[in-house]
Amino acid sequence: MASGVASVWVPVDDMERARAFYRDTLGLEEGKVTDEWSEFDANGLMIGLNAREGTAKHADGGAVITFQPDGGIDAEVERLRGAGVEFTGGISDHPWGRLAPFKDSEGNDLQFYGPPA
């Protein structure tokens, strides 16, 4: 039985590029950093970046992390678009909230979530 989430980790091809994305573009606080593993605090949830082994080939898929923006979802989407972030769809509205899917610097799937109005 799980009692909570200890961490979420995503595979990365280029650790420095990925660290810059999570630190500088998303604005998360960076913690432990090694060549193979880096950690970021996302409001109490630890996100780990795990370097792919030299023999592993990049593949789509992996963890999806959903972020709740500090301000409105529309403003945050525009801010990240201005920083060159690729959004894979528009903002979609659902009875349970709003989603805006995008990719990180390594091609991993991320989302913004906004609660329903």
Per-residue pLDDT of 85-105, as tens digits, reads: 989 888 999 888 898 999 999
Residue 104 lies in a domain: yes
Residue 2 lies in a domain: no
CA distance 51 to 74: 32
Backbone angles phi, psi at 9, to 5 degrees: -130, 150
Local confidence band at 1 (pLDDT 50, 70, 90 cut-offs): very low
Tally of domains within the chain: 1
* Cβ burial, residue 22 (10 Å; 0-12/13-18/19+): buried
For residue 52, pLDDT beyond 80: no
CA distance 33 to 106: 17
Q: Which domain holds residue 16?
A: 7-114
Local confidence band at 15 (pLDDT 50, 70, 90 cut-offs): very high
Residue 39 confidence (pLDDT): 94
Local confidence band at 74 (pLDDT 50, 70, 90 cut-offs): very high
- Single-letter amino acid, residue 106: E
CA distance 30 to 41: 7
CATH of the domain at 97: 3.10.180.10
Q: What is the pTM of this model?
A: 0.71
Question: What angle is formed at CA 100 by the lines to CA 24 and CA 11, rounded to 5 degrees?
Answer: 55
Q: Is the dihedral of CA 2, 4, 69, 37 positive or negative?
A: negative
Mean pLDDT over each residue of the chain, to the nearest integer: 86
Q: What is the DSSP letter of 20?
A: H
